[in-house]
Copies of this chain bind each other. A is one copy, B any other.
Amino acid sequence: MMPKKRIRQVDIADKLNVSVGLVSLVLSGKSHEFRISDEMAAKVIETAKALGYRPNQLARGLRTGKSGIIGLLVADISNPFFGKMARCIENEAAKLEYQVMFGSSDENSEKLENLINTFSSRQVDGMIIVPVFDSERILLSLQEQSIPFVFVDRYCEGVDEDAVVVDNYLGSYELTSLLIKKGYRKIAALAHNLGLSNIKERIQGYTTALKESPLDYPVEEFIFEVDFDQVDTRLEAVLKRAHKDGCDAFFFANNKLGISSLKYFDKIGLSIKDDIGIVSFDNPEAFQVTKPGITCLEQPIDLMCEKAIQLLSRKIEGRVKTKPERISLPGNLIIRESC
């Protein structure tokens, strides 16, 4: 069986005894603009279809300088939060005829750097980036390469670019206030990296809510940082420790920590709602099916992605814009039975 060669514009041109240029003009819809006769145009389109022509986007991209690809850089595509994000970005990008290429940084700035560099090498037209800790340098260098990008979920302090995030401060403030209102007396906060912009804001909201409350204890002593790769080794101990120190409620700064902790509470034998109160950022399915359901702050991922692609595409198309925007969208407080 023959390997069957791909059909190129020149094949169409040869068949019709015309030039490649003409074929190109017709196929890219410039017939009228370049006064190609309607009959000729029709013939070209017809044989293109008949031969099963598909444009070679590599060649087209090389010539036009646009690859039609958007790079999506998340911490981990297998995290349902980023999975949802990927899906929303995919949908929005598709509307503008972009394809999405993704990469997971694992919250590691070196990996992020590698990904950014390969994506740049692949001539992506723009990137949607979830920046990680300590990635300022590479992001500044990306700026210098003048490849358009926007931040989502978090931003990088030293890098002045568009960003779309949930209102982290308000969300945490609401979650924490709820715990306080319910009568919990000592609330621990857990986060995986206190250096990230979104986490900082979340801790800020948490702290402020407590400071404004009648509760009076050294809040800072009950903010715990448990890195992702320490979940298996340290999380259980931290939870036990906090409980032993009198914490009767927990604020989780993201879904991973919330979910993992659920397992440990069960193991330790602490009953949620009866023994301890719980609130968390994000709204993964696990929070919806577990009993009691977990009170949480759902992020408007679809809206965030819509905005992000809007910002990105106008950058790509070079539509001017005075200053980078930092868009903050309200989260959705979902009250369940965990507190």
- Give the B-binding residues of A (Cβ under 8 A): 3-4, 6, 54-59, 61-62, 67-69, 76-80, 82-84, 86-87, 90, 99-104, 117-123, 144-146, 259, 262-263, 266, 284-286, 288-291
Q: Is the CB of A263 within 8 A of B289?
A: yes
Nearest Cβ in chain B — how far from A108, in angstroms? 13
Nearest Cβ in chain B — how far from A268, in angstroms? 14
Q: Is the CB of B122 within 8 A of A57?
A: yes
Contacts of A290 in B (CB 8 A): 286, 289-291
Nearest Cβ in chain B — how far from A13, in angstroms? 19
Q: Is the CB of B62 within 8 A of A90?
A: no
Contacts of A118 in B (CB 8 A): 99
Contacts of A122 in B (CB 8 A): 57-58, 68-69, 99
Instruction: List 10 A–B pairs whose Cβ atoms lie within 8 Å, in order of A's numbering.
Output: A57-B122, A58-B58, A58-B67, A76-B87, A77-B90, A78-B80, A78-B83, A99-B119, A99-B122, A286-B286
Q: Contacts A4-B146, A285-B286, A286-B288 known; list 5 others, CB within 8 Å.
A: A77-B86, A83-B83, A263-B288, A286-B290, A290-B291
Contacts of A291 in B (CB 8 A): 266, 290-291
A68 to B83, CA, bound (A): 23
Nearest Cβ in chain B — how far from A105, in angstroms? 11
A122 to B76, CA, bound (A): 25
A56, A77, A291 interface centre (most CB from chain B within 10 Å): A77
Contacts of A77 in B (CB 8 A): 77, 83, 86-87, 90
A58, A79, A120 interface centre (most CB from chain B within 10 Å): A58
A286 to B87, CA, bound (A): 20
Q: Is the CB of A57 within 8 A of B288?
A: no
A117 to B99, CA, bound (A): 12
A260 to B285, CA, bound (A): 9
A99 to B124, CA, bound (A): 12
* A146 partner, pick from B3, B56, B121, beta carbons under 8 A: B3
* A69 partner, pick from B3, B79, B101, beta carbons under 8 A: B101
Q: Is the CB of B121 within 8 A of A56?
A: yes
A26 to B76, CA, bound (A): 36
Nearest Cβ in chain B — how far from A188, in angstroms? 19
Q: Is the CB of A58 within 8 A of B123?
A: yes
A310 to B96, CA, bound (A): 34
A55, A103, A121 interface centre (most CB from chain B within 10 Å): A121
A103 to B86, CA, bound (A): 10
Contacts of A76 in B (CB 8 A): 87
A91 to B263, CA, bound (A): 27
Nearest Cβ in chain B — how far from A55, in angstroms? 6
Contacts of A4 in B (CB 8 A): 144-146
Nearest Cβ in chain B — how far from A197, in angstroms? 24
